[in-house]
Amino acid sequence: MQEEKVNGLSPDRRERWGPVIKDGVIAAWPICLGYAPIGLAFGVIAQKAGLSPLEIGLMSLLVFAGSAQFIGVSMISAGAGFMPIVITTFMVNLRHLLMSSSLAVYLRGINSGWLSLFAYGVTDESFAMNLTRFRDAEWDWRRALVLNHTANGAWIASTIAGGYGGQFIPAGAFGIDYALIAMFLCLLVFQLRGMIYVIIAAIAGVLAVVSALVIPGDSYIVIASTAAATAGLFFRRAGFFKKQERESC
């Protein structure tokens, strides 16, 4: 193993943690603000699905993935088994593979212990924020690490708070049942970075509806998304849609 390159670590070691933590927390603030309503909504939905604040907090601590947790809770309350839930979670979070891949460029020479701690906090939001900051050059892995874990703390706290507050919020109040779909709609918009993504999303949507109508259970998500991504790969290789994004990782 060659990740123990001391030269990659020593410049950072000289700086004290104080200013590093301050910078990381400040940069995480918009993410925390965004997580609060979603975390509260998740806590409420999970509580209505029969989970206790302890169970909610533990899921947020162990999983720390917004969409996967929403899906997990809806599948648990629908009586889904272990394997469907875990496979769906894996598929939903496969995107992190790409995010960590692009982040790795900025994390060379860091030992595997710190990397493992950093990996835990890779989310759509922290990825987007850290990658933008890394390009500014004043950012470093320790600030990014603090940002990740500040966001994680806000997520855990807001989901637990939602789990307690949920008992006092009547069903359907404030349209909270729609928080999940609204979040997915916005994350989908973030993904539509060119015509080919619009086509692929349309294919996935049609395939999902058809297979949801034909096949019982939740396998339609995996079937439709793998088929649509494969179609996308085919289209790109066939040169049907030119890359339109300004840059890719």
Residues 91-110 within binding reach of another protein (CB under 8 A): 91-101, 103-104, 107-108
The interface with another protein within residues 73-92 (CB under 8 A) comprises 76, 82, 85-87, 89-92
> Of 17-25, 152-160, 161-169, 221-229, which part binds another protein (CB under 8 A)?
221-229
The reply to whether 244 sits near another protein by the rule CB under 8 A is: no
Q: How far is the CB of 225 from another protein (least distance, A)?
A: 4
Residues contacting another protein: total by CB under 8 A:
100
Q: How far is the CB of 52 from another protein (least distance, A)?
A: 8
Instruction: Pick one of 116, 136, 138, 239: the residue that binds another protein (CB under 8 A).
Output: 116
What is the DSSP secondary-structure string of 18-55? HHHHHHHHHHHHHHHHHHHHHHHHHHHHHHHTT--HHH
On whether the CB atoms of residues 157 and 39 are closer than 8 A, the answer is yes
Instruction: Pick one of 72, 162, 163, 166: the residue that binds another protein (CB under 8 A).
Output: 72
Residue ranges of the alpha helices (H) in 78-178?
82-93, 95-104, 112-119, 124-135, 141-165
Nearest residue to 218 via CA among 64, 52, 79: 79
Q: Which is nearer to another protein, 157 or 176 (CB)?
A: 176
The interface with another protein within residues 166-205 (CB under 8 A) comprises 172-179, 181-192, 197, 200-205
Task: Sort residue 248 into left (φ over 0), alpha (ψ -120 to 50) or beta.
Answer: beta
The reply to whether 147 sits near another protein by the rule CB under 8 A is: no
Q: How far is the CB of 22 from another protein (least distance, A)?
A: 23
On whether the CB atoms of residues 25 and 146 are closer than 8 A, the answer is yes
Q: Which is nearer to another protein, 20 or 67 (CB)?
A: 67
The interface with another protein within residues 151-170 (CB under 8 A) comprises none
Q: Which is nearer to another protein, 20 or 145 (CB)?
A: 145
The interface with another protein within residues 9-68 (CB under 8 A) comprises 33-34, 36-38, 41, 51-52, 54-55, 58-59, 62-65, 67-68
> Of 21-29, 132-140, 155-163, 218-226, which part binds another protein (CB under 8 A)?
218-226
C-beta contacts of 226-232 below 8 A and 24+ residues apart: 226/91, 227/203, 228/200, 228/201, 228/203, 228/204, 229/200, 229/204, 231/200, 231/203, 232/196, 232/197, 232/199, 232/200, 232/203
- How many other CB atoms are there within 10 angstroms of residue 34's CB atom? 15
Q: Which is nearer to another protein, 137 or 171 (CB)?
A: 171
> What b/e sequence results for 193-206 when a residue is b if at least 16 CB atoms lie within 10 Å of its CB, and e otherwise?
eeebbebbbebbee
Q: How far is the CB of 77 from another protein (least distance, A)?
A: 12
Specify the amino acid at residue 131: L
